[in-house]
């Protein structure tokens, strides 16, 4: 079983916190969680309690307000009440609350390092990707820089996992993601699809349709062999996993994946947080990054815990220095 012993859940002190905890309860019960930290960071850009709305003529002004002790206490009381409602009944799980006014992304990463987190859970509003809101940017940047896995929860995601899509290549990154999805799938009796995309040839590439069809068949067979190699690599042949090879629509991997998710009513996307290029470092691949911002269902960005920890420490020291 994939073990997420220490989980940090980032809360924004709004009505979205309760659905987020409701979603996490069955997952916490299934992945050997022992410690849950509810973390709230006062962020002037996203914290509704850090601004005051002042009417002026026909418009409204938002004026930044420094969080007061009263607001902090009220926030803590609300977080504790939610923890009692959703976490106290889970056997063997300890929980704590942390409230901070440090820079949001830096604080989330620093707390994850201090608490030896295995998973960071962070919310994302619907349609964030359309206007690149602060919540969408935070989710992406935390996932980029975290040295553990990150779960991005869209607003009001239902607490149900019956179908998991795992975009894959024959790589160690995909193998780690598929193993994690497999274990979660077993816990929830969910079906898993390992989706490998191949580039669809366009008419401009070939003069004759017969030649084009032959090429497509060859590429598809190569992709199928890649899937077989991946399943051997992770030593998984269970019937819960269905390997699929799909042509990339207009060579747009993300659009193809999202379209397939909609058709199959997928509940969760699990993806390795490294790109196809295999580039070193903590930076996300383009597909992972776009899914984080566009997926209508939760995205579990899987990382091998502790990778690139030295780079994280260097980034944190630079941020603090500035």
Give the angle subtended at the CA of 295 by the CAs of 289 and 301, to the nearest 5°. Answer: 50
- Please name the residues in contact with 200: beta carbons below 8 A apart, sequence gap of 6 or more: 216, 247, 248, 249, 250, 251
Neighbours of 195 (CB within 10 A): 23
Per-residue pLDDT for the chain (322 aa), expressed as one digit of tens each? 457 899 999 998 888 899 999 999 989 988 889 999 999 997 555 555 544 444 544 545 544 555 556 678 889 999 999 999 999 989 999 999 999 888 888 899 999 999 999 999 998 875 544 445 566 678 888 888 888 999 999 877 877 889 999 988 777 888 888 888 888 888 888 999 888 887 765 555 445 455 556 656 666 777 777 777 777 777 766 657 888 888 876 668 888 899 999 999 999 999 987 633 333 334 457 788 888 888 889 999 998 876 544 444 444 444 444 4
Strand partners, 269: 165, 299
Kindly list the distances between the CA atom of residue 233 and the CA atoms of 158, 159, 189, 227, 261, in Å, as whole numbers in the listed order.
33, 31, 23, 10, 25
Token output for 33: 């969680």
- Please name the residues in contact with 144: beta carbons below 8 A apart, sequence gap of 6 or more: 282, 283, 284, 289
Q: Please give the Cα distance from 223 to 177 (Å, whole number).
A: 18
Strand partners, 149: 119
Indicate the angle between helix axes 172-188 and 17-30, nearest 10 degrees. 90
Report the pLDDT value the prediction gives residue 319, as an integer from 0 to 100: 46
Task: Say if pTM beats, i.e. exceeds, 0.85.
Answer: no
Report the pLDDT value the prediction gives residue 261, as an integer from 0 to 100: 92
Report the pLDDT value the prediction gives residue 8, as an integer from 0 to 100: 97
Report the pLDDT value the prediction gives residue 176, as an integer from 0 to 100: 85
Report the pLDDT value the prediction gives residue 43, as an integer from 0 to 100: 58
Domains, the chain, with CATH or none = 6-159+302-321 (3.40.50.620), 163-264 (3.40.50.620)
Instruction: Say if CB 104 and CB 141 are below 8 A apart.
Output: no
Report the pLDDT value the prediction gives residue 272, as an integer from 0 to 100: 86
**Which of 71, 136, 122, 123 minimizes the C-alpha distance to 99?**
71
């Amino acid at each position: 079983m994939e073990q997420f012993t220490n989980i940090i859940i980032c809360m924004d002190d709004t009505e979205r916190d309760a659905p987020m905890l409701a979603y996490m309860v069955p997952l916490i019960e299934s992945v050997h969680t022992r410690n849950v930290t509810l973390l709230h960071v006062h962020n002037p850009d996203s914290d509704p309690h850090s601004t005051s709305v002042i009417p002026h003529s026909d418009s409204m002004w938002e004026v930044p307000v420094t969080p007061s002790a009263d607001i902090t206490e009220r926030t803590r009381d609300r977080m504790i009440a939610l923890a009692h409602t959703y976490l106290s009944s889970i056997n063997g799980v300890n929980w704590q609350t942390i409230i901070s006014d440090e820079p949001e992304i830096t604080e989330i990463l620093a707390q994850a390092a201090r608490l030896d987190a295995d998973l960071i859970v962070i919310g994302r509003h619907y349609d964030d990707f359309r206007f690149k809101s602060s919540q969408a940017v935070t989710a992406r940047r935390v996932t980029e820089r975290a040295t553990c896995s990150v779960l991005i929860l869209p607003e009001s995601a239902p607490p149900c996992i019956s179908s998991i899509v795992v975009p894959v290549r024959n790589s160690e990154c995909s193998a780690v993601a598929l193993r994690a999805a497999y274990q979660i799938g077993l816990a929830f009796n969910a079906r898993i699809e390992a989706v490998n995309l191949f580039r669809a040839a366009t008419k401009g590439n070939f003069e004759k349709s017969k030649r084009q069809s032959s090429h497509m068949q060859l590429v598809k067979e190569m992709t199928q062999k890649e899937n077989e190699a991946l399943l051997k690599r992770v030593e998984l042949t269970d019937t819960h996993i269905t390997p699929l090879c799909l042509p990339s629509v207009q060579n747009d991997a993300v659009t193809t994946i999202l379209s397939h998710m909609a058709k199959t009513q997928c509940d969760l996307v699990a993806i390795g947080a490294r790109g196809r290029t295999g580039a070193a470092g903590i930076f996300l691949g383009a597909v992972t990054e776009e899914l984080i911002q566009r997926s209508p269902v939760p995205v579990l960005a899987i990382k091998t815990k502790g990778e690139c920890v030295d780079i994280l420490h260097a980034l944190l020291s630079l941020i603090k220095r500035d």
